Amino acid sequence: MAEIVFDRVTKRYDDGQIAVNALDLTIADGEFLVLVGPSGCGKSTALRMIAGLEEISDGELRIDGELANDLAPRERNIAMVFQSYALYPHLTVAENIGFGLKVRGADKAEIDRKVRETAELLELGDYLARKPGKLSGGQRQRVAMGRALVRSPKAYLMDEPLSNLDARLRGQMRAEIARLQKMTGVTTIYVTHDQVEAMTMGDRVAVMNKGVLQQLAEPRRLYDAPANLFVAGFIGSPPMNLLAGTVGSADGGPALRLGQVTVPLDAAALAERPALAASDGRAVVAGIRPEALQIAEDDPSAPGRLCGRVAFVEDLGASLLVHVDLDAGAVVASDVTSEGDEMSSARTRLRAVLDGTLAVKSGQRIGLTVEAARVHVFDAKTEAAIRS
């Protein structure tokens, strides 16, 4: 096991493109860290620098206290699991798992023992004589993991290892990988673009965008207290609603003005974000999680309501995902999707997750409310969260 430290690490290509920019990141010994972000954000490049498959342009990388910038990949004792299984089709499961040990000159008895132990851990004991072509996708992925596990490395690096599996198998393998990591206690860095994987697997999650680390925190902290607009829009499914507005006043107290809608900031909201009390006139973006919205039980057009017409409803069983076209005056701000693309600022569609027993139909007029304390607020210029 090992602590891995990025100290102002930068990856710059010959054409001047910066893939990773001054990354400061410490992965603790035995930690399961997830690197997440949209395509091209630099997460896989960071992983490949740990493995020694990408050269470091600036900064220092330390593995278990040793400077690793110039170490050859084989000198780092790092095991990597790729998106593709990369199994040898002419070798059996046992031969695939033990291949790395054989190359390193381990004796046959040791290879056999470690292969059997690893196969039992991965529930592959009955398949050791089979070849990869006779296995399911999930079984092949476990063989690829076994090839990494059998070496007892300092750290495991996993680059989107589940992206080729169907949704059911991905769910199973997420739990399997997390279980194995807890059992072995080996430092693990896992790269994914899927924020559901990130939130359910990692001890901590590092969110990256355009080569820059945006936030490093425990999954719940990322969800409850995103550091900026990018993290707010990227983390959460369905994504957070982002509405343009200003900080103003109502009935003698601070309030958020979202077009023609005013949301008074009560004591609970100000306790969460005290800086809002002295931000009169400041341009902001208000972030509202879809599950924070509720149907207005009284007059849906009363002040403070977000009103509009239901565009369509996705019935998810236990809940409804309701898409609402807002009335003029409440404009949805530029939105960051799960792929990191920005949507038009002219959009006026809001997403709300409501109780699945409610009778909500397309074309229906609706009013939605939200507790002020559950509204996230970001500076419109810097895009940073406004808190203290």
Q: Are residues 174 and 51 in the same domain?
A: yes
98-112, 143-157, 216-230: range with highest mean pLDDT:
216-230
386 domain residue, yes or no: no
Q: For 233-292, how does the pLDDT look when each residue is reduced to its tens digit (9 = 90+)?
A: 999 989 999 999 999 888 778 899 988 888 889 898 899 889 988 888 899 999 999 999
Q: How many domains does the chain have?
A: 2
Residue 80, token pair as written in the block: 């990597």
Q: Are residues 101 and 183 in the same domain?
A: yes
C-alpha–C-alpha distance, residues 41 and 341, integer Å: 12
pLDDT for 333: 56
Q: Using an 8 Å Cβ cutoff, are 331 and 348 in contact? A: yes
Q: Tell me what the mean pLDDT of segment 161-178 comes to.
A: 82
What DSSP designation does 228 have?
B
340 backbone φψ class: left, alpha, beta (φ>0; ψ -120 to 50): left
Q: In 3-state terms, the chain is what percent helix, strand and coil (to 5)?
A: 30, 35, 40
pLDDT for 387: 86
pLDDT for 344: 39
Q: In the listed set 233, 262, 296, which residue is the last one of a domain according to the structure? A: 233
387 domain residue, yes or no: no
Q: In the listed set 173, 198, 233, which residue is the last one of a domain according to the structure? A: 233
Residue 222 has pLDDT above 70, yes or no: yes
Share above pLDDT 90 across residues of the chain, in percent, rounded to a whole number = 61
Range of the domain at 286: 237-379
Q: Tell me what the mean pLDDT of segment 211-216 comes to.
A: 98
Residue 200, token pair as written in the block: 């359910």
**What does pTM read for this prediction?**
0.87
Q: Are residues 227 and 249 in the same domain?
A: no
Q: Are residues 213 and 293 in the same domain?
A: no
Q: Are residues 75 and 204 in the same domain?
A: yes
Q: What is the CATH number of the domain that holds 210?
A: 3.40.50.300
Q: What is the CATH number of the domain that holds 349?
A: 2.40.50.140
Name the residue with higher pLDDT: 13 or 327. 13
Q: Using an 8 Å Cβ cutoff, are 146 and 116 in contact? A: no
pLDDT for 340: 41
Rounded mean pLDDT of the chain? 89
Residue 160, token pair as written in the block: 């989107």
Q: Are residues 294 and 180 in the same domain?
A: no
Q: Are residues 278 and 331 in the same domain?
A: yes
Q: For 320-376, how does the pLDDT look when each residue is reduced to its tens digit (9 = 90+)?
A: 999 999 886 555 555 444 444 444 344 578 999 999 999 999 999 999 999 999 999
pLDDT for 339: 44
Q: Are residues 152 and 298 in the same domain?
A: no
Q: Tell me what the mean pLDDT of segment 38-44 comes to.
A: 94
275 domain residue, yes or no: yes
Q: Using an 8 Å Cβ cutoff, are 118 and 146 in contact? A: yes
Q: Tell me what the mean pLDDT of segment 208-214 comes to.
A: 97
Residue 298 has pLDDT above 80, yes or no: no
For 13-17, 62-66, 252-256, 350-354, which range has the lowest pLDDT when averaged over its residues?
252-256
pLDDT for 216: 98
Collapsed DSSP state (helix, strand, coil) of residue 197: helix
C-alpha–C-alpha distance, residues 386 and 388, integer Å: 7
200 domain residue, yes or no: yes
pLDDT for 331: 57
Q: For 67-121, how does the pLDDT look when each residue is reduced to its tens digit (9 = 90+)?
A: 999 999 989 999 988 877 778 999 999 999 999 888 888 899 999 999 998 898 8
47 domain residue, yes or no: yes
Q: Are residues 146 and 241 in the same domain?
A: no
304 backbone φψ class: left, alpha, beta (φ>0; ψ -120 to 50): left
Q: Are residues 248 and 374 in the same domain?
A: yes
pLDDT for 303: 66
The residue assigned the tokens 């304390």 is 373
For 125-134, 156-165, 230-239, 362-371, which range has the lowest pLDDT when averaged over its residues?
156-165
Q: Are residues 201 and 249 in the same domain?
A: no
Q: In the listed set 166, 200, 233, which residue is the last one of a domain according to the structure? A: 233
385 domain residue, yes or no: no
pLDDT for 347: 56
pLDDT for 37: 94
Q: Are residues 268 and 352 in the same domain?
A: yes
